[in-house]
Structure 1
Amino acid sequence: MNWLHKARPVLIVTGLALVIGSLIGARELAHGSTSDASAKGDAPRATGGTIVLGTVDTNTPHVSYGLPPVLSSGTVSKVFVTDREEVKVDQPLYAFDATLQQATVDSAKAAVALAETKVAEAKEGKKRHAKNIEVMKKGVEALNRRAGDADNIVSIVKANMENGYKQNGFQPNEWPAKLKNEPQYAEAQSKYTGAYNEWEIEKAKLEALEAVNAQLPVDQAEAAVKQAQAELARAQIAVDMCVVKAKVAGTVEQVSISAGTTLGISTRAPALLLIPAGPRIVRAEVEAEFAHRLGNDRIGKQVTISDHSDAKLTYTGVVRDIGKNFLPKRANAENLIASDTRALEAVIEITDPSPAGKPPLRVGQRVRVNLGQ
């Protein structure tokens, strides 16, 4: 019995090895004869063609929703949707408290109303300006006639005086000196000079008034209205954007918020995800060492898609596009630790993601794609 006691550890290790070997063998039978490299994401040459890993996706990648761009932080006031709910474009998803933004809208509305009042005042001022010009023109015309009448009186007085000088035998060269001493003539001259000067002053005032651009205050007031309206529009947009709406039609997933939830610019988790409606595709990752096997002649060819964890579940697809550049894998973009792993992306259109008798292929599901020989 001593030897049996000593051999027990060896027997246990041997038994464990047989169990592990059986499990590995069963896995290989279930998932096909692929190499370890395939299980790690490489593309081994398996029976029937080149096999690569891929992920089920939509034509338009899923959309993450969080804070609207008008907020640096905000508190959710209401959530309109639940997980797995189908939504249409522009359907409200959730809303933030917009008290401050609404106050800005109210202030902007008051500014618009005030600016519109200024426009009315400017237009009324323009009317008054036109009326003042009309009245002043009449006044200038009256002063012009008055000055003309005064000038005529001067001429009449002068003519009467000169006739008297002539009758009294005075020579014409003596008349100017005698006129200077005539009170009647001096009075007529004074009245004419006053009327003429008054006409000149009022005419200058009229010219200055006509030079004023009465339309300018109206234009400035109307420009102020447009600016105030633009501010109001921006303020209203900020209020509207506090209600987050669906950018595309699809299905809501992973709602992580409720009324009272506060989101900030440092919040990493999205408020919810929206899986776009439409055809399902596979984004297959072709490693560099297998890229030479993919030419443009593969586009339009039928391929076989199998579940990553159960190779017996197969689906069909058609190669729609093959990338021309090696780019970082999409999955790496979500990792905190940067990775420089690059691959050529092939887009496969899934013929029927929900065939009868098989579980449907779901967005985000890892699959294998047999791209053929």
Structure 2
Amino acid sequence: MNWLRKARPVLIITGLALVIGSLVGARELTHGASTDAPAKGDAPRAAGGTIVLATVDTDPGPVSYGLPPVLPSGTVIKVFVKDREEVKADQPLYAFDATLPQATVESAKAAVALAETKVAEAKEGKKRHAKSIEVMKKGVEALDDRARDVLGYRNLIKKNLEDSYKRNGFPAEEWEVKLSIDPTYADAQIKYRGAYNELEVEKAKLGALEAVNAQLPIDQAEAAVKQAEAEKAKAQVAVDMCVVKAKTAGTVEQVSISQGTTLGISTRAPALWLIPAGPRVVRAEVEAEFAHRIGNDRIGKQVTISDHSDSKLTYTGTVRGIGSTFLPKRSTAENLLGSDTRVIEAVIDVTDPAPAGKPPLLIGQRVRVNFGQ
């Protein structure tokens, strides 16, 4: 045990030396200067400079496909593509069973037809309303003529009686009393009041009928048609989205579904990946301690891209843009130094992702970028 106590300081110092050496080596691997001479046919590399980890990507990036947002779950009835198949934009990729969404469409169609029937009924009601007003106006005119005739008849009887009273020498102040008890005049007065009252009642009915807005039921019915059509369109979208189509041209990768596969909202694995057909880029991860070395003056400058596992495999690229915000890394790979995982992203256009005599750069491949001095 004595020898163990004596050797403990030596072991601790040795362990610390190994840890420090590992960290320094990792730092040099990730960000250190590169002094390897370029092999024949390789792209030129800077004899030193800031080196950062990066990932090969597409622009735009790969897209995962799964369950359409309009479906809570679905069963795949057909897969139209296979791994590594090139597809065009809007080309069908796979389809879900659309029985239930199609039933909703049929129900929505019936609702539209019913709403359109209500519009036709409302329009016919407006015609009937206008006809009723026309008929009632003629009736009011007839009653008005009748009331005028009855009034004229009453006035004639009154005049004849007053002339008689005058010839017989009755004082004028007695005429009203005599008229009130004369049966002929009383009958004419009753007929006039009856005709006048009937006229006023019909006028009131006509006014009430004219006050009715016969267009309102049409507007309401047409609004119901629009709502029903919107529901039908929404239901049709669900049917259409049961056939999942490519949003852009590209290459299909990792098809994980087949006929009969059921996907739900809790399904995490994508049905497939679509790698867009477009330029290849490298997204470099510039950590905080090196951000001051990679400024906007680098934009448009050439950089050297090397394979992460074989630094002799090099490619060239041009800096397209440099971010101005520290954000989480796109990749899930851990930083070798275990420091801050937030980085500034620099996007680099790859000059030639598949040069002659070299393996092509693959999407998702980890590389290193040498920005030079």
Q: In which range does the TM-score fall when normalised by the shorter chain?
A: 0.7 to 0.9
| Partner of residue 294, structure 1 | 294
The aligned counterpart of 2:17 is: none
1:305 equivalent in structure 2? 305
Q: Percent identity?
A: 76
The equivalent residue for 1:43 is 31
Deviation at 1:89, TM superposition (A): 1.9
Separation in structure 1 between the aligned mates of residue 248 and residue 274 of structure 2, nearest angstrom: 8
SS of structure 1 residue aligned to 2:332: helix
What residue identity is the alignment partner of 2:26? D
Give CA-to-partner distance per residue, 1:236-287, whole Å, 9 cap, x none. Answer: 1111122111122211111000110011122111000011111101111223
* 1:204-253 CA-partner distances (Å, limit 9, x unpaired): 10011111111111111111111111111111111112211112221111
Flag the 1:333–1:365 CA change in 2: closer, same or farther, 3 A: closer
- Following TM superposition, by how much is the alpha carbon of 1:333 offset from its aligned partner in structure 2, in angstroms? 8.9
Cα distance in 1 between the residues matched to 2:308 and 2:122: 76
**AA at the equivalent of 1:67:** L
In the TM superposition, what are the counterparts of 1:25-104 in structure 2 within 5 Å? 35-39=25-29, 42-47=30-35, 48-49=47-48, 50-104=50-104
TM-superposition CA deviations, 1:34-73 (whole Å, max 9, x none): 943354xx31122212222211101211101111111222
Counterpart-to-counterpart distance in 1, 2:325 and 2:174? 115
Q: Aligned runs of 1:308-347 on 2, under 5 Å? A: 308-332=308-332, 341-347=341-347
| Equivalences for residues 198-217 of structure 1 within 5 A | 198-217=198-217
What corresponds to 1:27 in structure 2?
none
How far apart in 2 are the matches of 1:158 and 1:329? 110
1:133 match: 133
Query: What TM-score results when the alignment is normalised by the length of structure 2?
Result: 0.85
* Farther off after superposition, 303-312 or 155-164: 303-312
Moved more, 48-57 or 205-214: 48-57
Task: Confirm or deny: 8 A CA contact 1:38 1:52 kept in the other structure.
Answer: no
Aligned residue in 2 for 1:24 = none
Q: C-alpha separation between the residues in 2 aligned to 1:289 and 1:171?
A: 127
**2:209 counterpart letter in structure 1:** L
- In structure 2, the CA distance between the partners of 1:257 and 1:313, relative to structure 1 (3 Å rule), is same
Distance, in Å, in 2 between the alignment partners of 1:333 and 1:71 is 33
Structure 2: runs of 5+ lacking an equivalent: 1-23, 36-46
Distance 1:300 1:321 in 2: 8
SS in 1 for 2:31: coil
Q: Secondary structure at the match of 2:323?
A: strand
**Partners of 2:57 and 2:282 within 8 A in 1:** yes
Counterpart of 2:268, as a letter, is R
Rounded to whole Å, the distance in 2 between the matches of 1:118 and 1:343 is 63
**8 Å contact kept, 1:328–1:340:** no
Q: Aligned partners of 1:294, 1:58: CA distance in 2, in Å?
A: 22
After superposition, the CA RMSD in angstroms is: 1.8
Matched, 1:152 2:140: no
Matched-pair contact (CA < 8 Å) for 1:73–1:262: yes
- SS in structure 2 of the partner of residue 325 of structure 1: coil
- Residue 173 of structure 1: how far off its partner (Å): 2.3
Aligned to 2:9: none
